[in-house]
Structure 1
Amino acid sequence: MTGGSQVGESDGHQIPFVEPGQAEGETSRVQRETQPPYDRIKAMILSKAIPPDTKLNIDKLARELGVSQTPVREALQRLEGDKLVVGKKPRGLWTSPLLDEGQLRELIEVRLLLEPWSASAAANDRASNPGREMLAEIDRFVALNERKNEGYALASHDVAFHDMIFYAVGNSFLHNAFRQLHAHLHLFRLYPADLDGTHTIEEHKVIAEAISRADPHAAEEAMRAHLFAAMDRFSLGVRGKDTLTSLGAVRSHVLGAPGSGQTNHVPAPSQSTGSDGTLGRRHD
């Protein structure tokens, strides 16, 4: 699996990547407009351009994306499978709430059951050892320099890095069990304090080096330490100390730049757009 640097048709565990540093032009406009509604809406949810626990209006989304209602409905069905959208009968479809601290702990506990063992199993002295590929992925991310701060870059790197381990293990039941957690999709919305990936990369390097030298015990312990450290970082997001990406940049590259002829207003999380709360934050 690659680092996920492009938005395209993806299976549910992948993170769509939006490049907010890219200059707006004809090429980027065409690329954006050819992105499937599923990826564009997912990017809006993950970036909080559509805030958590928000009612979704299919007609409004179709107009904002410049498509008919049918592909929007199909995209929302897929996003229900990703657990990013939930149905609240008879109140329609809503973006899912963020994880609370208890749910975060439970998610990490499940990952502790799956990933330390997987790291140990991948750390074998065989051609399938993914250590070299994992170190190359770390180098790719570090080479982004200041673009590491864009948030999507870190999330895309994290998906690629952890997937390399599961692919190397070669157990489809294990890999599918991890995908069903949709861990990266839920955690990404919490925006950890480590947004530029400094601590994440240090921990990933220890894991990759242990796997590369075929040291199963060290790989297992490094993965366990990484997951506990990640839980501490994501807890800051649960407690409201998150670091938001620029909603303006996300709007520009998901919906279109102001004045481009497209409807591109997406309110900030504290705003509301009408008495029905269609794109405003509402709670049960």
Structure 2
Amino acid sequence: MEESDGHQIPFVEPSGTESRFESDRKGAQPPYDRIKAMILSKAIPPDTKLNIDKLARELGVSQTPVREALQRLEGDKLVVGKKPRGLWTTPLLGERELRDLIEVRLLMEPWSARSVAHDRATNPGREMLTEIDRFVALGELRNEGYALASHDVAFHDMIFNAVGNSFLHDAFRQLHAHLHLFRLYPADLNGAHTIEEHRAIAEAIRRADPHAAEEAMRAHLFAALDRFSAGLRGGDTFSSLATVRSHILTASEPGQIGNGGGSETISPALQNTTTKRQYD
């Protein structure tokens, strides 16, 4: 693996996973899951060229399952084709993309949480608490690069399934929010903050308290913005994410999300500063 200037970059497997990956070389874990874990953990960095032959040799499989895995990862928006240059991991979200993603989620998810909390007999609150307990029971495995993302999508899927609006559910799935966001904030891979926020949402839904469920979801999304913004810090290239949060707080008033009041000048999307590398 080389940087564009020719310097060698060592391949580092996700922390705490060496023995598992070594045992998986015999094919115990599908290439899709393994490559996905490498991307989420940044063992394969963002905006990195992928070499199918090298990946196949690294995983101990033929090129065919690697190609199939990369096709699926394109659908997940974790891999992108750049003609004629091949396949690359997608860059991290920029400031504008992060703000836009949270705005869309603020439109969908607080309302959805409120909607499903009305009926104590049929709401998914107990099922959601069971999912939280399942994730907590993973123990050290919670530190895997994909474990928190998998839990997050399962948790939020339960709400959208209970809403029963297929168009709304499809819109959420197409965001692939859980995958993009968790690449920005590796410090919460064990899910401590997320678990606490998810439990507050689930308990409010279980109690059939629509207002509390809506507010808990909104608080969760803003807390997520604060955490994920850490992935954009580290230099003067990025403006303060406090500005982004302030914009969303203003825009989250009824009728305001998406237009910023109609007059605010929005800074252009910023390119992430990760050095471009080649995995080849």
TM-score, normalisation: structure 2:
0.72
Pairwise mapping of residues 45-84 of structure 1 onto structure 2 (< 5 A)? 45-84=39-78
Gaps of at least 5 residues in structure 1 are 1-17, 242-269
Match of 2:279 in 1: 279
| TM-align CA RMSD | 2.8
Match of 2:10 in 1: none
Question: Aligned partners of 2:18, 2:51: CA distance in 1, in Å?
Answer: 29
Match of 1:186 in 2: 180
Q: Go from structure 1 to structure 2 and tell me whether the alpha carbon gap of 1:32 and 1:42 turns closer, same or farther (over 3 Å shift).
A: farther
Match of 1:177 in 2: 171
Q: Which letter does structure 1 place at the counterpart of 2:279?
A: L
Question: Aligned partners of 1:69, 1:148: CA distance in 2, in Å?
Answer: 30
Q: Which letter does structure 1 place at the counterpart of 2:181?
A: L
Question: Aligned partners of 2:221, 2:52: CA distance in 1, in Å?
Answer: 37
Q: Cα deviations across residues 62-99 of structure 1 (Å, max 9, x unaligned)?
A: 22222222222222122111111111111111110111
Question: Aligned partners of 1:31, 1:119: CA distance in 2, in Å?
Answer: 42
Q: Which letter does structure 2 place at the counterpart of 1:92?
A: G
- For the 8 Å contact 1:193–1:237, the answer to whether it is kept is no
How far did 1:271 drift? 9.9
Q: Which letter does structure 2 place at the counterpart of 1:116?
A: P
Match of 2:148 in 1: 154
TM-score, normalisation: structure 1:
0.71
Secondary structure at the aligned position of 1:86 is classed as strand
Question: Aligned partners of 1:76, 1:174: CA distance in 2, in Å?
Answer: 27
Q: Go from structure 1 to structure 2 and tell me whether the alpha carbon gap of 1:145 and 1:87 turns closer, same or farther (over 3 Å shift).
A: closer
Gaps of at least 5 residues in structure 2 are 1-13, 236-273
Question: Aligned partners of 1:182, 1:153: CA distance in 2, in Å?
Answer: 15
Match of 2:196 in 1: 202
How far did 1:48 drift? 1.1
Match of 1:225 in 2: 219
How far did 1:226 drift? 0.8
- For the 8 Å contact 1:59–1:69, the answer to whether it is kept is yes
Q: Which letter does structure 2 place at the counterpart of 1:216?
A: P
Question: Aligned partners of 2:118, 2:26: CA distance in 1, in Å?
Answer: 42
Match of 2:118 in 1: 124
- For the 8 Å contact 1:193–1:234, the answer to whether it is kept is no
Q: Does residue 136 of structure 2 align to residue 142 of structure 1? A: yes
How far did 1:172 drift? 1.7
- How many residue pairs end up in the alignment? 229
Q: Go from structure 1 to structure 2 and tell me whether the alpha carbon gap of 1:71 and 1:211 turns closer, same or farther (over 3 Å shift).
A: same
